[in-house]
Amino acid sequence: MFKNILLATDGSAHSQRAVEQAIQMVSPYKNEVTIELVYAVDGEVSKEDILQYGDSHTATIKRKEKFYETIKEIEANGLTADITILHGDPAESIIEYSNERSYDCVVVGSRGRNKLQTLILGSVSHKLMKYIKAPVMVVK
Amino acid sequence: MSAQTLKEQWFGNVKGDVMAGIVVALALIPEAIAFSIIAGVDPMVGLYASFCISVVIAFVGGRPGMISAATGAMALVMITLVAEHGLEYMLAATILTGVFQILFGVFNLARFMKFIPRSVMVGFVNALAILIFTSQLQHFVDESWIIYVLVGITLAIIYLFPLLTKSVPSPLVAIIVVSFIAIYMNAGVRNVGDMGDLSQTLPLFAIPDIPLNMETFMIILPYALALTIVGLLESLLTASIVDDMTDTESNKNQESRGQGLSNIVAGFFGGMAGCAMIGQSVINVKSGGRGRLSSLVAGVFLMFLILALGNVVVQIPMAALAGVMIMVAIGTFDWSSLRNLNRVPKTDAAVMVVTVATVVYTHNLAYGVLAGVLLSMIFFAVKISKVRVLSLYVNEGRKKIYYVQGQLFFASVTDFVSSINFKDEVDLVEIDLTQSHLWDDSAIGALDSVETKFEQRGIEVQFKGLNGESSRLLNRLGGISKDASH
């Protein structure tokens, strides 16, 4: 059973769908499940957030606040939820973080880029699938 | 700082720091040359500055992993000084800037940076980006169409090469490729050698050749003050960004002192004033740089490259550097501020736009910051000067109570007094200040005049609900004596 779930999110609608899928997937035993949301901040986002919020502490609080709604939604369904903020390249930092710990399952939303965009920009979900040791579920 | 942390800051990440330092050195060279040309000095002045600053800051800075060198922001401030008085005055201004920055750090003034509103900071980086971009337009003047092609190729390589590999900085690849094209085609475009001397020697200690008198001081003082503000602003902003990227803390006052010392050293060794660089610091952290060693390696490797390859560097066409600077401008601009322009409060948007407009008009980032801060203060005073006064008759209309909500100070007393009706036929007026605060002499004066006007008509006035600080002010300034603070 997937009880200890890591859910990579970027706050987008695709990540929201991943949250809903994850909740549905574990609904038979939902009271035993913890979903840890993980959000990675890269250099560009750091720059924008520091300009907007002034310092790292405030920026971190503001970033966590963005996910309070999602956490409330998960907890309303009877699961336990938490949010972790990582720093660095999204794919690399999430892979490292999840491989250092043991999760039963890692869930990630797929943004649905077209072939050209994927070719140029690469796909975070693809990298996660390839390098994370735990089972990975990509929600389309 | 304990020896343990110092050792960690130097040797905690040797491999990552050395690799990142080399990448940064490669990325620094074109920028140092281009910023020298913006300021109107020989390329060596920017290169010496970048070498001195990054080496010195490695030892004395407060934010390991951050990269400081010659920057566009500082170069832009110095343009007129160089044009009107020459290089030696600029070196003197650089040294004086260093002294001011050390004082700033010694007196722990970093905490006052919080008084610079974020919209001013956003305006600052956007204005910086615009000025870096416009400063490149001169390279297109009097050139054939070939320069557009070369700049286009440069930008294409810069943005597309990372798709192949990210281990080599793409601006460097672009410069090498475009240099080969320009030399091979004999394109006849201007190159770095045309813009000034590039001597392959180590920087030497020298005292700026200027008359040491009051007149000299008054010439360099305004520039040094502007450089101090701009340098610390960008350095402390960058330090916060590196704090956030690495999820670690930094010592902002130590960083201010370090910036000062680096500028003093740079000035005595023939370098222009510099500060921390957002773009380079992001490159450093992304390439794995975390410790002090990364900045040291960047500086030393940069100097080595210039000594070894100086005669190649002069062949670089200005078109390639212009392309790199356009990339720097695009990367510096805070694009999210445009997306958010209609979402943030109108006053914030206005402050941002005024900051940018002032800089673009005066070509001085310090003036923009000043204008932005002043405008924010005015907006703040206007916002906070809104007082709400509600009134209520009691005791069958014989008593009137005024509830005052808001701050009472020089900007708000007029509104306060005008919302009180002195013609009321009542016996007693009670002014409830529970939700208010008295800030200055004008506030006390206003209460005084309200009391006097009512008493002239035989109406008693009572003040209620003064908070502690307000009644202390009242006592100190000796205003209305009776019935204050119930």
Q: Which of A51, A52, A87 to mutate to test the interface with B (most CBs of B within 10 A)?
A: A51
Give the pLDDT of residue A97.
94
Owner of token pair 């066409």:
B317
Residues 6+ apart with CB under 8 A from B97: B223, B224, B227, B228, B231, B260, B263, B267, B273
Of residues B163, B241, B286, nearest to A50 (C-beta):
B241
pLDDT, one tens digit per residue, over B327-352 is 989 988 999 889 888 888 899 999 99
Q: Are residues B325 and B402 in the same domain?
A: no
Whether A52 and B118 lie within 8 Å, measured CB to CB: yes
- Phi, psi dihedrals of residue B29, rounded to the nearest 5°: -55, -55
Contact status, residue A21 vs residue B209, Cβ threshold 8 Å: no
pLDDT, one tens digit per residue, over B169-183 is 788 899 999 999 988
The answer to whether residue B78 sits within a structural domain is yes
Q: Are residues B309 and B419 in the same domain?
A: no
Give the pLDDT of residue B169.
79
Whether A43 and B286 lie within 8 Å, measured CB to CB: yes
List alpha helices for B363-433, DSSP H: 365-384, 413-418
Total domain count, chain B: 2
Whether A47 and B247 lie within 8 Å, measured CB to CB: no
Whether residue B282 lies within 8 A of chain A, CB to CB, comes out as yes
Q: Are residues B142 and B263 in the same domain?
A: yes
Residue A114 pLDDT > 80, yes or no? no
A52 neighbourhood in chain B, CB within 8 Å: 118, 122, 336, 340
Q: Are residues B225 and B326 in the same domain?
A: yes
Owner of token pair 């005055």:
B89
Structural domain boundaries, residue A132: 4-139
The answer to whether residue B464 sits within a structural domain is yes
Give the pLDDT of residue B486.
41
The answer to whether residue B379 sits within a structural domain is no
Share of chain A above pLDDT 90, in %: 43
Residue B360 pLDDT > 80, yes or no? yes
Residue B265 pLDDT > 80, yes or no? yes
Instruction: List the CATH number of the domain containing A12.
Output: 3.40.50.620
Whether A50 and B282 lie within 8 Å, measured CB to CB: no
Residue of A nearest to B344 (CA): A52
Give the pLDDT of residue B484.
45
Q: Are residues B84 and B206 in the same domain?
A: yes
Contact status, residue B135 vs residue B281, Cβ threshold 8 Å: no
Whether residue B279 lies within 8 A of chain A, CB to CB, comes out as no
Whether A88 and B245 lie within 8 Å, measured CB to CB: yes
Which pTM does this prediction carry? 0.84
Total domain count, chain A: 1
Averaged pLDDT, B74-81: 93
Q: Which of B310, B345, B380 is the last residue of a domain?
A: B345
Residue B116 pLDDT > 70, yes or no? yes
Q: Are residues B159 and B249 in the same domain?
A: yes
Burial of residue B216 (number of CB atoms within 10 Å: 0-12, 13-18, 19+) = middle
Averaged pLDDT, B210-219: 92
Dig out the tokens for B146 from the structure: 């070939």
Whether A41 and B244 lie within 8 Å, measured CB to CB: yes
A-side interface with B, Cβ within 8 Å? 41, 43-44, 46-56, 59-60, 87-89, 120
Distance CA A20, CA B407 (A): 48
pLDDT, one tens digit per residue, over B432-442 is 998 988 888 88
The answer to whether residue B358 sits within a structural domain is no
Contact status, residue A6 vs residue A106, Cβ threshold 8 Å: yes
Q: Are residues B150 and B277 in the same domain?
A: yes
Of residues B282, B286, B334, nearest to A51 (C-beta):
B334
Contact status, residue B382 vs residue B346, Cβ threshold 8 Å: no
The more confident residue out of B155 and B116 is B155
Dig out the tokens for B39 from the structure: 């300021």
Q: Measured in whole angstroms, how far is the alpha carbon of residue B230 from the centre of its chain?
A: 5
The answer to whether residue B99 sits within a structural domain is yes
Residue of B nearest to A53 (CA): B118
Structural domain boundaries, residue B415: 388-477
When the pLDDT of each residue in chain B is averaged and rounded to a whole number, the result is: 89
pLDDT band for position B457 (cuts 50, 70, 90): confident
Instruction: List the CATH number of the domain containing B435.
Output: 3.30.750.24
The answer to whether residue B138 sits within a structural domain is yes
